[in-house]
Amino acid sequence: MEPQFLLAKAKDEELAKKGECGGAVSALFKYLLDQQLVDGVLTLTRGEDVYDGIPTLVENSEEIVETCGSLHCAPTMFGDLISKHLNDIRLAVSVKPCDAMAIKELEKRHQINPDAIYKIGLNCGGTVMPITARKMIEMFYDVDPAEVVAEEIDKGKFIIELADGTHKSVEIDELEEKGFGRRNNCQRCELKIPRNADLACGNWGAEPGWTFIEVVTEKGKTLVENARKNGYIDVKTPSEKAIAIREKIENVMIKLARKFQDKYLEEDYPAPENWDEYWNRCIKCYACRDVCPICFCKECDLEKDFYTDEDEIAPDPLTFQGVRLSHMCFSCVNCGQCEDVCPMEIPLARIFHRMQKKYRDDTGFIAGVSEELPPLYSPEKE
Amino acid sequence: MSEEDVKIVGFCCNWCCYGGADTAGTARMQYPPNVRILRVMCSGRINPSMVLKAFKEGADGVFVGGCHMGDCHYDAGNYKWNRRAKLVEELLPEFGIERERFRFEWISASEGEKFQETMKEFADTIKSIGPLKRSTPQISTQAKFTAKI
Ligand SMILES: Cc1cc2nc3c(=O)[nH]c(=O)nc-3n(C[C@H](O)[C@H](O)[C@H](O)COP(=O)(O)OP(=O)(O)OC[C@H]3O[C@@H](n4cnc5c(N)ncnc54)[C@H](O)[C@@H]3O)c2cc1C
Ligand code: SF4
Ligand code: SF4
Ligand code: SF4
Ligand code: FES
């Protein structure tokens, strides 16, 4: 369908107030639960502090208010949570573009039922690792990370709020130049507006107190219309100027991501000798595979005895990551999870993302975005 | 190991390329003894992990031969392999293995001469780049082998 743009705001005052922008996302969730169109909503709630995002299944619409707001220091992944644990219920979920990409690949592989899920997309400029966030707040803001009560990303700045209401901000560019800021995979990520979800919600182009929504699918369109008719949200049309501003910011972000791709995947890309050093560190804990949303096989080749050697401490990279790469690199959605969990700090997402980019250049297949399965799975004579 | 001793693993599909090797053999066309042939039913049976495994076990070059497009006895096997082969070509350099160490070709059962030529060319290429030197694994294949007995 033709994309449709609108501004939305929760009618419920508490949701409107607590929501990151207009609380529209929360209001849509409340509507879906109240009308029993879904059995549960998968979102993120804030745990002990701003660095702690806990995936939460909300079944009672009264509790939605507790999930309001954006957590930028919580690089979670909802794709395999759904395919592994929530596949038997009708679900609505808030998704960053990488969540939506993983879900899309899992849908194509029949691991998630697309008819049983509402994907409410959130635009995403990137997430920061909790540990990085704490360190940089100490170093660049001169603040005890425990004192931070809220954080936000706005106009290229990472902003923190303290208990006494004061704000401190530092340019993300500056943080990243010094090796802090957003995760490396986020810096490289080109999908800023999740047009692979039903709706794409964000603050770009929005007026204060409103959420800007790009309606992507018919399902999303019906949802917004019915939520409005039933008194859950107010809706108005954004100005031409607002739409243009949003598009402009998106393009700037995409350009920046391409620059980071060149840096991380070409200019500063580790040479094979450096990779050998990385691979030598591997303790074969399988965390990278376990956390990867695309690696869903019940029986994994990496545990077959013809590819493993018990007396090898670091596994031979050819039959460890090489085999994993050969199975799924073309479908890598660059979510960064493998790299985040690796206890030996091996920059895994770089090699997977680079391979998917090459595959994309060769075949046109974009993991997490293309409607069809990767051409490698095709049975056709072509 | 001298250049002459390079090891090449050749996966050949039963219906065409293996037949081509056979034709070369019966006609007494010499091809380099470096090539060790493994017969598979179809090139569509080969997946990239098998090529990786061959390199891990000490191959200096890997060859895969299937039927010409349109001639696969299982209809689309060689089309499927062709797509995987492109991925192998991209993957090997990531592990410091030169692209030239991997080759795939379509050879029919009657093409004994093409088989011979291809093997000669490929063996020459591998000899000129020399044996594959890898810094990993730390334990040599030989040590692993003795450890297991
Ligand atoms: C990490 C991140 C980066 C963002 N960057 C941009 C940006 O650059 N440009 C832009 O236009 N918009 C961005 N957004 C979207 C924006 O912050 C709002 O989420 C969006 O406008 C919806 O506002 P709302 O008031 O309707 O949402 P709310 O009603 O507050 O609902 C937000 C929902 O998102 C869930 N959520 C919070 N954090 C996460 C997370 N990390 N992963 C998954 N779900 C989460 C919450 O649980 C809640 O259900 C970002 C959001 C996140 C989470
Ligand atoms: S390989 Fe890593 S970055 Fe790619 S999809 Fe899997 S976990 Fe995400
Ligand atoms: S490495 Fe391969 S076999 Fe193992 S889970 Fe991933 S895709 Fe499946
Ligand atoms: S997470 Fe890191 S250490 Fe663990 S198996 Fe993967 S690469 Fe090796
Ligand atoms: S039978 Fe020869 S390639 Fe399939």
- Residue A111: inside a domain, yes or no? yes
Q: Which residue has the higher pLDDT, A313 or A122?
A: A122
pLDDT at res. B116? 97
Identify the burial level of A270 via C-beta atoms within 10 angstroms of its C-beta, where 0-12 means exposed, 13-18 middle and 19 or more buried.
Answer: middle
pLDDT at res. B2? 73
Same domain, A120 and A240: yes
pLDDT band of residue B1 (cuts 50, 70, 90) is low
- Residue A343: inside a domain, yes or no? yes
- Contact between A109 and A103 (Cβ < 8 Å): no
Closest by Cβ to B90, choosing from A312, A355, A378: A355
Last residue of a domain, which of A261, A285, A309?
A261
Model confidence, pTM: 0.95
Element (H or E) spanning A263, and its range? none
Ligand 5 centroid distance, CA of A37 (Å):
51
Within 13 Å of residue B32, how many CA atoms lie on the same side as its CB? Answer: 22
A273 neighbourhood in chain B, CB within 8 Å:
96, 135
Residues spanned by the domain of A224: 4-127+182-261
- Reported for A205-209, long-range contacts at CB under 8 A and 24+ positions apart, including other chains, are A205/A5, A205/A238, A205/A242, A205/A243, A205/A245, A205/A246, A205/A249, A206/A7, A206/A21, A206/A22, A206/A238, A206/A242, A207/A7, A207/A238, A207/A242, A209/A9, A209/A16, A209/A21, A209/A22
- Contact between A148 and A50 (Cβ < 8 Å): yes
Residues paired with A58 in a beta bridge: A41
Give per-residue pLDDT as tens, A129-152: 999 999 999 999 999 999 999 999
- Residue A162: inside a domain, yes or no? no
pLDDT at res. B136? 59
- Residue A161: inside a domain, yes or no? no
Number of domains in chain A: 2
Q: How far apart are CA B80 and CA A139, in angstroms?
A: 53
B80 neighbourhood in chain A, CB within 8 Å:
378-379
Our answer on whether the CB atom of A282 is closer than 6 Å to any ligand 4 atom is yes
Last residue of a domain, which of A242, A261, A280?
A261
Our answer on whether the CB atom of A327 is closer than 6 Å to any ligand 3 atom is yes
Q: Which residue has the tokens 């070409």?
A: A266
Please, what is the average pLDDT of chain A? 96
- Residue A238: inside a domain, yes or no? yes
DSSP alpha helices (H): ranges in chain A? Answer: 13-18, 24-34, 79-85, 97-108, 130-140, 172-177, 184-188, 218-229, 240-262, 272-281, 287-291, 321-328, 337-341, 348-363
Q: How far apart are CA A65 and CA A63, in angstroms?
A: 5
Whose C-alpha lies nearest to ligand 3, atom 3? Answer: A300
Give per-residue pLDDT as tens, B52-62: 999 999 999 99
Whose C-alpha lies nearest to ligand 1, atom 48? Answer: A68
Give per-residue pLDDT as tens, B77-109: 999 999 999 999 999 999 999 999 999 999 999
In 3D space, the residue among A45, A54, A9, A42 whose CA is nearest the CA of residue A27 turns out to be A9
Give per-residue pLDDT as tens, A277-286: 999 999 999 9
Same domain, A119 and A31: yes
Residue of B nearest to A357 (CA): B90
Burial B61-93 (b: 16+ CB within 10 A, else e): bbbbbbbeeeebeeebbbbbbbbbbbbbbbbbe
The pLDDT of residue B146 is above 60 = no
Yes or no, beta carbons of A325 and B94 under 8 Å apart: yes
Our answer on whether the CB atom of A328 is closer than 6 Å to any ligand 3 atom is yes
Same domain, A119 and A226: yes
Q: How far apart are the first and last CA of chain B?
A: 24
A329 neighbourhood in chain B, CB within 8 Å:
91
- Residue A152: inside a domain, yes or no? no
Yes or no, beta carbons of A314 and B137 under 8 Å apart: yes
Closest by Cβ to B49, choosing from A273, A326, A379: A326
Same domain, A90 and A232: yes
The DSSP annotation for A212-254 comes to EEEE-SHHHHHHHHHHHHTTSEEEEPPPHHHHHHHHHHHHHHH
Among all ligands shown, which has an atom nearest to the Cα of B43? 5
Distance from CA of A160 to the nearest CA of B (A): 41
The pLDDT of residue B145 is above 90 = no
Yes or no, beta carbons of B87 and A272 under 8 Å apart: no
Asked if the C-beta of B91 comes within 8 angstroms of chain A's C-beta atoms, the answer is yes
Q: For residue A276, count other CB atoms closer than 10 A to its CB.
A: 17
pLDDT at res. A1? 78
DSSP character at residue A258:
H
pLDDT at res. A309? 79
Give per-residue pLDDT as tens, A187-240: 999 999 999 999 999 999 999 999 999 999 999 999 999 999 999 999 999 999
Total residue length of chain B:
149
The pLDDT of residue B144 is above 70 = no
Please, what is the average pLDDT of chain B? 91
The minimum-distance atom of ligand 5 relative to the CA of B44 is 4
pLDDT at res. B149? 37
Give the lowest-confidence range in A92-96, A273-277, B132-136. Answer: B132-136
pLDDT band of residue A181 (cuts 50, 70, 90) is very high
- Residue A65: inside a domain, yes or no? yes
Q: What are the residue ranges spanned by the domains of chain B?
A: 3-129
Residue of A nearest to B44 (CA): A379
Give per-residue pLDDT as tens, A289-301: 999 999 999 999 9
Ligand 4 centroid distance, CA of B119 (Å):
39
B139 neighbourhood in chain A, CB within 8 Å:
309, 311-312
Q: Which pair of tokens denotes residue B90? A: 């991209």
Which of B91, B142, B144, B146 would you mutate first to test chain A, the one with the most A CBs within 10 A? B91
Element (H or E) spanning A4, and its range? strand A4-10
Q: Which pair of tokens denotes residue A256? A: 């920046």
Give per-residue pLDDT as tens, A154-172: 889 999 999 999 999 999 9
Burial A14-23 (b: 16+ CB within 10 A, else e): ebbebbbbbb
Yes or no, beta carbons of A381 and B84 under 8 Å apart: no
Same domain, A295 and A253: no
Q: How far apart are CA B7 and CA B35, in angstroms?
A: 6
Q: For residue B112, count other CB atoms closer than 10 A to its CB.
A: 22
Same domain, A249 and A310: no
Asked if the C-beta of B136 comes within 8 angstroms of chain A's C-beta atoms, the answer is yes
Q: Does domain B3-129 have CATH number 3.40.50.960?
A: yes
Q: Tell me, rounded to whole angstroms, the distance of Cα A100 from its chain centroid.
A: 7
Yes or no, beta carbons of B135 and A379 under 8 Å apart: no
Last residue of a domain, which of A261, A285, A306?
A261
Q: For residue A167, count other CB atoms closer than 10 A to its CB.
A: 11
- Contact between B53 and A319 (Cβ < 8 Å): yes
In 3D space, the residue among A73, A115, A124 whose CA is nearest the CA of residue A95 turns out to be A124
Give per-residue pLDDT as tens, A36-91: 999 999 999 999 999 999 999 999 999 999 999 999 999 999 999 999 999 999 99
**Could you give the percent of chain A with pLDDT greater than 90?**
96
